[in-house]
Amino acid sequence: MLKIIYLKSVLLFLIIFSIKAQNPIFPAGMFIADPSAHVWKDGKIYIYGSLDEKLGQYCSHKHHVYASSDLINWDLTPNAFASQGQNDQVSYSDLILYAPDCQYKNGIYYLYYCLASDQHTEGVATSNSPLGPFMKGTEINTYGNDQIDPCVFIDDDGQAYYIWGQFSAKMAKLKPNMIEIDSTSIKNGIVTEKEHFFHEGGYLVKRKGIYYFVYAHMGRGNKPTCIGYATSKSVFGPYKYGGVIIDNAHCGTGVWNNHGSIVEFNKQWYIFYHRSTHGSATMRKTCIEPIFFNKDGSINEVEMTSQGAGKPLNALNKIEAERACVLSGNVRVVYDGIDKEYLTQMNSGDHAGYKYIDFGTGVDSIIIFSAACKNGGYLQINLDQPWGKTVGGIAIPDKGDGITYKYFSAKLEKIEGIHSLWFKFWSKDTDIMNLDYFQFK
């Protein structure tokens, strides 16, 4: 369903779609990274993030806004703020917009943005609506501390704090106008790479008197693929390292970074993060997982899943191949530029994992919708682990053109209950098929 609305003479499109709370949470062709999630006074959850549009390039010149009242149906308002083209609200620059954040105070929504520049990167725009359009981008003077990834936190007493930086996080009080920094309050080293594995992407929340500083964490594999956290009883710290909340290192080849936020929605806490596609560090997609706190306030690390905030995927329904939460080898998710994403470029021995699928009282066959490539091969189907129990497989014929999609099916050993599902790809050569979706019977 498509709705067109006019808002302050700016043409915006409100696209409403249902995705049953699966990961990734936005539809094919929508590559949203660095999700900053907030629940505003209307009880809805809103996501502000970067928009990837090109391979090899982080972000773009515009920000979208997404809203949901149930984590199932998401409303998309495109181009709520831009630094170039339609709705250009940054008069002083045409540079790319990096990761944003948003905050609300006294009836106004403030969108904090940063530009792809070594100088004068920080800015803020305002709107009367959480969906924008955000207008009149204004530079924020950081007094020589220009960096990226702004976040704004408002404490219980109404005082707002501006957080930003790479490698060493910076924090300062915001003046009541929510635009100017109190230069006397700037503090560097809130969390650091050396002590907390901090890379970038700070995000601050408060829960039961504890401040949680969430950030892109580079303590594993010398890449910031994790989202980690540190805690303090004081907003300016000192912050004690807490650990990792989630790691996207195995979402596909080429993945480099992670960036996200945590938020409570309907009495459940969630982490929003992104995964890379196309075998690159970019073309990232927003995902969500529920998280859980221990009695001492610590957060348990969670795994990437295909089900996201919802229940395990129903094996009897069509399951899109791009829902794979673990990819190993050369296999990757790509977009056809029209209407679908799919798995492709798999080599022999690669695998794709789905967590989790509910097979109910039992299934005994599978149908896949795939385009065979010239080399063909074999799709092996395992349960619970990449090398877990093999329940069957499908022979993929050779001499395909990689374009013509057909149905292939096979009988399986009976599968019951909830399992993770693993596809193993085998071939004498490379590039076996393009897999669009599958379904069990």
3-state secondary structure 2-45: EEEEEECCEEEEEEEEECCCCCCCCCCCCCEEEEEEEECCCCCE
Q: What is the pLDDT of residues 353-362, one digit of tens each?
A: 999 999 999 9
Mean pLDDT of 69-89: 95
Domains, the chain, with CATH or none = 2-290 (2.115.10.20), 313-440 (2.60.120.260)
Alpha carbons 230 and 243: distance in angstroms, whole number: 7
Q: Tell me which residue of 209, 128, 197 sits closest to 169, measured CA to CA.
A: 197
Least confident of 147-151, 274-278, 336-340, 387-391: 336-340
Q: How far apart are CA 136 and CA 53, in angstroms?
A: 24
3-state secondary structure of 204: strand
pLDDT at 10 over 90: no
pTM score: 0.94
Both tokens of residue 14? 């409100």
Choose the weakest-confidence range: 114-128, 144-158, 180-194.
Answer: 114-128
Name the token pair of 328: 């190993």
CA-based nearest residue to 164, from 225, 100, 68: 100
Burial (Cβ within 10 Å: 0-12, 13-18, ≥19) of residue 43:
exposed
Q: How many CB atoms lie within 10 A of CB 72?
A: 14
pLDDT at position 89 over 50: yes
Q: Give dist(CA 157, CA 154) in Å, integer.
A: 8
Confidence of residue 117 (pLDDT cuts 50, 70, 90): confident
Return the higher-pLDDT residue of 202 and 428. 202
Query: Would you state the pLDDT for residue 5?
Result: 32
pLDDT at 36: 98
**Pair type for strands 313-314 and 351-358:** parallel
Residues 6+ apart with CB under 8 A from 224: 199, 200, 201, 216, 217, 218, 256, 257, 258
Q: What is the pLDDT of residues 273-304, one digit of tens each?
A: 999 999 999 999 999 999 999 999 999 999 99
Cα 64 to chain centroid distance, Å, stands at 14
